[in-house]
Homo-oligomer: A and B are copies of this chain.
Amino acid sequence: MGSAIAARLAEHGCKVLTSLDGRSATTRKRAAASGMVSAGDAEIANADIILSIVPPGEAVALAEHLATLINRSAKKPVIVDCNAVNVETIRTIADVVLSSGAHFVDAAIIGLPPKPGTTGPAFYVSGEAAADVTVLGELGLDLRRIDGPIGAASALKMSYAGINKGLTGLGAAMVLAAVSAGAADALRDELALSAPHIHARLGNALPDMLPKAYRWVAEMREIAGFLGDDHPAALIYEGFARLFEHIAADVEGAGTDAAQLVAFAESCKAKK
């Protein structure tokens, strides 16, 4: 996602810096191809806007690193956290960033990475400083401002993924159970009749999910955290985390469940 966003910005005339210290030759090559320029920490801290796009588990550490740099610097940039973290985590990150004197925007990227010929993904921003990054909309991003505090964009990301990826999880769990009870064909036919949009959706979503299942484990736990440990629905997302863990292990191993899900999805498409 990060390099595709960089490429979109660079195409629109934006100078995009990135830190490549200690990164592999492949990463350096990809960064260059995306129009990114290698820069040192001091130069990055001097940028106008800094986008944080990293795996969710690294978001807090990156914010702390940036805050340390900015603390020492006269320039106070706007830091935009675009990561799939829950509302509590984004507030922690906001505190870290604001304490350095930098400005902070909560952002949520919804949709697939930018590709030539598309305008997406949607790039939602919330918090008071969201007004300071409107230039991103002129630089090719599909910028959408949420009239809400820091946390609103992350809550949108969590709740949208909770419905969208959750539905794929429900489909995977129920298709596998139906297969083992000899009811998969009947399930497919009944969905086609009385829930055609879910039928069509599963035809694509189940195979698309398989290679991503390992990444969705942490994302489901973020959603459980978003709800809070005491919330009755938090258990639903812990269940999804375990289901995707199970599926990811199957994809890496015997592939039995993966093959059943692909077969079901293909028969959905054939029945369309």
Contact = CB atoms under 8 A, between A and B. Distances in A.
Contacts of A144: 186
A110 B190 contact: yes
A177 B151 CA distance: 12
Contacts of A195: 163-164
Contacts of A233: 169, 173, 177, 239-240, 242-243
A158 interface: yes
A175 interface: yes
A148 interface: yes
Contacts of A169: 233, 236
Interface residues of A, number: 63
User: How many copies of this protein are present in the complex?
Assistant: 2
A156 B187 contact: yes
Interface of A: 87, 110-111, 122, 124, 126, 144, 146-149, 151-156, 158-160, 162-164, 166-167, 169-171, 173-175, 177-178, 181-183, 185-187, 190-191, 193-195, 197-198, 201, 226-227, 231-240, 242-243, 245-246
For the complex of A and B, list the 10 residue pairs with the smallest distance between their C-beta atoms, beginning with the closest.
Answer: A155-B181, A235-B239, A236-B239, A197-B197, A232-B242, A173-B233, A148-B182, A155-B183, A159-B174, A159-B178
Given A152-B182, A156-B186, A159-B177, 6 more contacts: A147-B185, A152-B181, A156-B178, A159-B183, A163-B198, A164-B198
